[in-house]
Amino acid sequence: MELNGKEILVCNCEGSMSVNGKALAKACADKSLCVNTHLCRTELGEFQRVAKKKKPMLVACTQEAPLFVEVLDEIEGAPEIHFTNIRERAGWSEQGAKAIPKMAALLAEAALDIPQAMSVGLKSGGTLLVIGRDGSAIDAAKQVATQIHVTVLLTDGNTAGPKDIFPPSLMDVPVFKGNPTAAAGYLGAFSLNLEGFAAVSPSSRETLKFGRGKKVEAYKCDLILDLRKGESLFPAQRDGYRNPDPGNPALVHKALFELTDMVGTFEKPRYVTFDGTLCAHSRNGLSGCTLCIDACPTGAIVPDGDHVTIDPYICMGHGSCASVCPTGAASYALPSADAMITRVGTLLGTYLKAGGKAPILLIHDAEFGESLIAAMARTGHGLPANVLPFTVSQTTQVGLDFLLGAMAHGAGRILLLLPPGEKSAVEGLATQVKLAEIIVGGLGYGSNRVGLIDEMDPAIVEALLYGLDAVTMPHGSFLPLGGKRGLLGLALTNLHRHAPAPVDALDLPVGAPFGNVEVNTDGCTLCLSCVGACPKGAFKDSPDKPRLSFSEYACIQCGLCKASCPEKVITLVPRINFKAGAADRRVIKEEPAVACIRCGKDFGVRSTIDRMIDKLRNHPAFAGEQALNVIRMCDDCRVISFMEAENNPMASKERPFPRTTDDYLREREELREQAKEVIEDQKKDS
């Protein structure tokens, strides 16, 4: 069987799951499918036979992936190979016999060609700093001292240094005291500010003694093992930094093992792509959207002028920024938003076309989520036949565009499985889930369509999934075009078209990324400050006349227009407008242009000029109507009027006309003529 140009190999794993080859082939729009029973052992020849066709392969087994890759290494010109798991996710279930539509959907999704994310380089020389309060830090350092260069920093929270630590007989690791006051950096480039930094005294006898402490602004190292229980240098996980419980030797040894392996050059995925031209963080020194900064648990996002900067070396891929970003300036790249919609559209479309009913989309990460699903399949009832698992890099990367897009493609419910340790990053995701619930509920689809699962016990999660009522959504289909705002628009249009209770407008809570603005036109002077501040072009002016227009479709409710308005006449109205023509641009205010009283050229807005005159009428510099008339002039005429004024301090005497040689010659001739006349007059008199 082939899907998207890939040869599909399916195995029922020694008959441990029911796979009807004929029904599965039909569900995948193919004629036939040979279902293997022991593909990784007795039927390995079938795998080799298909591999020799040199066509891309998709094997429906992840457990034996290393074996299949090893076999491919022995085949010259071996094709690329992909793997997907239909056993734990579909076949190993008490409803496995009904899971053919789900198997077909999982195969179709896995057969897609999804672009990979870009990466950034990290380089670590292997310099490890072990921070602790007692001798356990020295013991941990000694365990790896022969493998990497390690230094111990002892602290008890004050500049006096640690106490009651028996000096080691062999000082084979450098030991210092000090207290970290600030930390920055990432794997291969950590920097710490230290107070009271001092080396151990070699004459320490009963307890460790240290020299006089000093302040160090930037202590450099590649790796950090922090054994201070209850304290952390960074707000969240960071590459090259480990903070295990020092009372748990297994966790400490695991951290040491991981850190000693972090020596050399590494490639780290660039989890998030950023387009500063779409960012609505600030304009003209006024703060606007800060959602990504507030949501980032690692501190990788900082303001940078009118937009923000995302440090790819610190970013750990939680994706909260992409989830909450209203403009799409921050977008997840592992995979991209349009690839996510393509995947979920293929998954749901194949499932429904194959006869599946009431699909529930279970979104989970590749580590915790896969382990929990495997536990349910091996020790419990397994996933219900209508629960479609959907793997993402991080659950917290999911945003409103994906949630609404998945429901527009037919997902009856969407459940997001939260891995442990992600509580700090879940606030942004919870906001997106709440907003999705408000929207689908407001359109009449009912409540509890989108939810979070914060459970680690497979039995509890399993009971929750089996206890859900079957609910459906109309199956729509659309191409993932237009970035985040485009995807949201397409999803909302599909949901509204099939809504049980369609409305013209749906009110949303404050902070929602959709809405209208109300402008008090009586107080508006058409100064156009809002136009200059708007990052999405929702407000626009006209090059031909004084006019202010607005597009509700483009507004993200960032509030920059309201903050920049000097007249304070703008009010934000969060909502979704489903009316025909809602995306059209409407005129907020329009006035005829005022003409210059000197040259007659149109140069301004009547209301603005009148407002300026009213405010300046009592100012000493504008006493009298003649002084105020300057405001009624265009820029050029104001300059001319100023230069012509009698009291102009910059005025100068009239410049003399430049004299030339001809002028001097003419004057000489005139003098000669005058002399001749004088001589003639004298002759006549004599």
| Phi (first) and psi of residue 403, to 5 degrees | -60, -50
Average confidence (pLDDT) over 149-165: 74
Domain stops at, among 56, 83, 110? 83
First to last CA, the chain: 140
Query: Does residue 311 share a domain with residue 342?
Result: no
CATH of the domain at 525: 3.30.70.3270
* Mean pLDDT calculated for residue range 276-290: 90
User: Based on the domain organization, do 551 and 433 belong to the same domain?
Assistant: no
Mean pLDDT of the chain: 91
pLDDT range class, residue 335, cuts 50, 70, 90: confident
Pair (223, 280) in one structural domain: no
Predicted local distance difference test score (pLDDT) of residue 509? 95
- Do 359 and 499 lie in one domain? The reply is yes
Burial of 525 (0-12, 13-18, 19+ CB in 10 A): buried
Residue 430 belongs to a domain with what CATH number? 3.40.50
Q: Convert the pLDDT of each residue in 192-222 to its tens digit.
A: 999 999 999 888 888 888 888 899 989 999 9
In a domain, 686, yes or no: no
**For residues 577 and 496, what is the distance between their CA atoms, to the nearest angstrom?**
11
Residues 465 and 568 placed together within one structural domain of the fold: no
CATH number at residue 254: 3.50.50
Quote the tokens at residue 657. Answer: 């006309």
Judge whether residue 645 has pLDDT over 80.
no
What is the bridge-based pairing of β-strands 127-132 and 149-154? parallel
| pLDDT digit string, tens, across residues 411-436 | 999 999 999 876 667 889 999 999 99
- Are residues 40 and 60 in contact, defined by beta-carbon separation less than 8 angstroms? no
Q: How far apart are CA 574 and CA 576, in angstroms?
A: 7
Cβ atoms of residues 583 and 553 within 8 Å: yes
For residue 453, pLDDT beyond 90: yes
Q: What is the pLDDT of residues 567-589, one digit of tens each?
A: 999 999 999 999 988 888 999 99
- DSSP class per residue in 591-659: -PEEEPTTT--EEEEHHHHHHHHHHHTTSGGG-SHHHHGGGGS-HHHHHHHHHH-TT-TT--PPPPPPP
Q: Which of 65-74, 323-332, 571-580, 663-672 has the lowest mean pLDDT?
A: 663-672
Closest CA to 436 of 407, 476, 465, 461: 407
Q: What is the 3-state secondary structure (H, E, C) of 493-507?
A: HHHHHCCCCCCCEEE
Are both 239 and 152 inside the same structural domain? yes
Q: Where are the alpha helices (H) located in 129-248, listed in sequence order?
A: 135-144
Confidence at 334, pLDDT banded by 50, 70, 90? confident
Quick check: is 301 in a domain?
Answer: yes
Determine whether 677 is exposed, middle or buried from the number of CB atoms within 10 Å of its CB (0-12, 13-18, 19+): exposed
Mean pLDDT for the stretch of residues 294-320: 92
CA-to-CA dists, residue 332 to 114, 281, 403, 496, angstroms: 13, 18, 15, 27
**Using 50, 70 and 90 to split pLDDT, how confident is the model at 230?**
confident
The CA-based diameter of the chain, rounded to the nearest angstrom, is: 154
529 plus 583 within the same structural domain: yes
Radius of gyration for the chain, computed over Cα atoms and rounded to the nearest angstrom: 37
Name the pTM for this structure: 0.84
Is position 664 within any domain?
Answer: no
If pLDDT is split at 50, 70 and 90, which confidence band does 158 have?
very low
Beta-strand pair 214-221/190-199 = antiparallel
CATH number at residue 328: 3.30.70.20
Q: Are 336 and 449 in contact (CB under 8 A)?
A: no
Q: Note the pLDDT tens digit of each residue in 471-523.
A: 999 998 888 888 888 899 999 999 999 999 999 999 999 989 999 999 999 88
Would you say residue 96 lies in a domain?
Answer: no
Is the residue at 12 inside a domain? yes
- For 538-556, the pLDDT digits (tens) are 999 988 888 999 999 999 9
Domain end position, chosen among 55, 83, 111: 83
pLDDT at 161 over 80: no
pLDDT tens per residue, range 185-199: 999 999 999 999 999
Question: Which residue in this structure is represented by tokens 């479709």?
Answer: 553
Task: Say yes or no: 469 and 445 in one domain.
Answer: yes
Across the range 141-149, mean pLDDT stands at 94
Q: Are residues 300 and 259 in the same domain?
A: no
Give the domain range for residue 488: 337-503
* For range 614-620, the mean pLDDT: 83
Q: Is residue 651 scored above 60 in pLDDT?
A: no
Whether 114 maps to a domain, the answer reads no
How many independent structural domains does the chain possess?
A: 6
Look up residue 90 and give its DSSP letter: I
Cα separation, 551 vs 177, in Å, equals: 61
- The whole-angstrom separation of Cα 607 and Cα 629 is 15
The CA distance from 201 to 484, in Å, is 61
pLDDT at 44 over 90: yes
Tell me: cis bond preceding 513? Omega within 30 of 0 counts: no
Residue 434 lies in a domain: yes
Instruction: Say how far apart CA 379 and CA 369 lie, in whole Å.
Output: 15
Of 406, 409, 456, 459, give the one whose Cα is nearest residue 433: 406
The confidence score (pLDDT) of residue 119 equals: 81
Higher pLDDT, 286 or 425: 286
Per-residue model confidence (pLDDT) at position 581: 82
Q: What is the pLDDT of residue 159?
A: 43
Give the length of the chain: 686
| pLDDT score at 160 | 45
Based on the domain organization, do 152 and 198 belong to the same domain? yes
Here the tokens at position 514 are: 């959709």
207 and 195 co-located in one domain: yes
Phi first, then psi: give them for residue 576, nearest 5 degrees. Answer: -115, 125
Say whether both 242 and 349 belong to one domain: no
Whether residue 665 lies inside any domain: the answer is no
**Given pLDDT bands bounded at 50, 70 and 90, which one contains residue 685?**
confident
The residue assigned the tokens 């279902």 is 35
Last residue of a domain, one of 590, 612, 632: 590
- Residue pointed to by tokens 């949630």: 403
